[in-house]
Amino acid sequence: MPRWTGVEGKPLIIAGPCSAESEEQLLETARRLPKSRVSFFRAGIWKARTRPSSFEGVGDRGLPWLRRAGERAGLRTATEVAHTKHVEAALEHGVGLLWIGARTTVNPFSVQEIAAALRGVDVPVLVKNPTSPDLGLWIGAVERIAGAGVRDLGVIHRGFSIASKTRFRNAPMWDLVIEMRRMFPQLPMITDPSHIAGRRDLVKGIAQRAMDLGLEGLMIETHFDPEHALSDAAQQVTPERLTEILDLLEIRRPATTNPDFNAALDALREQIDQVDHDMLDVLAHRMRIVELIAESKRANNVTTLQVARWKAILEDRMERAVELGLDPSYVKAIYDVIHSESVRRQSEIMSGEDARPPLADQAAIVRPVPPPGPALP
Ligand code: PEP
Ligand code: MN
């Protein structure tokens, strides 16, 4: 674990208000934090707000407040930077960690400008995921900052803005988190449950999910008087509630030396491997039947898409899924993929554009898993 992330086996905690509002607010919030468990005291100095009518932060005058609050509480400080000027001003005031906000990560010009300002500077930098679920944009921003020679680099998962409504302010999309981890296993990743939740009562549950996945830490917005906060009032927690959340969190270990557990896990994983191989055999078998159907539809000049049949399949499979205790939306998603691939394959055969190699060669085709991404510091 890198030196800046803290103690091995303990999550890195960044806590403090969404925005710096006054010196008293920062002093009082920092004073009441569970200091032995918090690594950095955060406060937004410049706020990138969606609408200009929202509170846009106190600006540079908040930096001395942040420094004093951190010093009194014995905590290093952290803030968001979106411009070269922010980086310079923050470093002048001894800010100990900088992060790039979700609205900045979406803009490679801004990220490049920040990267240039960070050249030769020894400060940890965390890159929040972009507002849209675009892994490439997130990785690109990390690469730009790494390219400036920043050694202490990490990412913050703060959820994604998507069209469909979820119970959260920003959809967590854990599959993207897992993909990021697969590509960059060494890159520290923390979750910001506050911006995912948008509501303080949901913060703890999301924080636990992050710990269950083995992420390195959490950024939790904490305010001494959340109801009267000038930004993100609904999602901030009091310092006392933060202490409670940290007490309640179950911190999982990545592995254990317990031989019974390891043996049981190996046995279960062998079963999973077997089930997955069986599933692939079944999918291949299904596809061979689809091909026979396509050939006979072609001979009889019948359409590939048969809406009534597709409806009947879905109804039947969903009913069965419920009987088997499977989540219907999970099964629906799988069947959407299966059906669309069936229609694609049928069209291929019926149009005479069968690009499929002879069956004997197909066995040799193995879809390569993309290799892990480039090593980042
Ligand atoms: C913040 O951390 O206060 C913030 C503005 O977050 P985000 O960039 O994730 O919206
Ligand atoms: Mn906020």
**Distance in Å, CA 54 to ligand 1 centroid:** 14
Per-residue pLDDT reduced to its tens digit, 97-146:
999 999 999 999 999 999 999 999 999 999 999 999 999 999 999 999 99
Q: Residue 252 carries which DSSP code?
A: P
Our answer on whether the CB atom of 204 is closer than 6 Å to any ligand 1 atom is no
Task: Note if the pTM is more than 0.75.
Answer: yes
Give yes or no for a contact between 260 and 248, defined as CB atoms under 8 angstroms apart: no
Residue 369 has pLDDT above 50, yes or no: no
Measured between alpha carbons, how far is residue 313 from residues 286, 289, 319, 321 in Å? 14, 15, 10, 12
Residue 357 has a pLDDT of: 55
Distance between Cα 48 and ligand 1 center (Å): 8
pLDDT tens string 328-350: 999 999 999 999 999 999 999 98
- Confirm or reject: Cβ of 128 under 6 Å from ligand 1: yes
User: How many angstroms separate the alpha carbon of residue 194 from the centre of ligand 2?
Assistant: 8
Write the CA distances from 94 to 18, 38, 169, 343, integer angstroms. 19, 18, 32, 60
Place of tokens 């998603």: 333
Q: What is the pLDDT of residues 208-255, one digit of tens each?
A: 999 999 999 999 999 999 999 999 999 999 999 999 999 999 999 888
DSSP 160: B
d(CA 75, CA 30): 8
Q: Where is pLDDT greater, at 51 or 37?
A: 37
DSSP string, 279-328: HHHHHHHHHHHHHHHHHHHHHHT--S--HHHHHHHHHHHHHHHHHTT--H
Q: What is the DSSP letter of 227?
A: G
Rounded Cα distance, 204 and 206, in Å: 6
Task: Report, as an integer, the average pLDDT of 302-316.
Answer: 90
161-209 pLDDT, tens per residue? 999 888 999 999 999 999 999 999 999 999 999 999 999 999 999 999 9
pLDDT digits 0-9 by tens, 52-85:
888 889 999 999 999 999 999 999 999 999 999 9
Burial 103-129 (b: 16+ CB within 10 A, else e): bbbbeeebbbbbbebbeeeebbbbbbb
Spatial distance between the Cα atoms of 174 and 196, rounded to a whole number of angstroms: 11
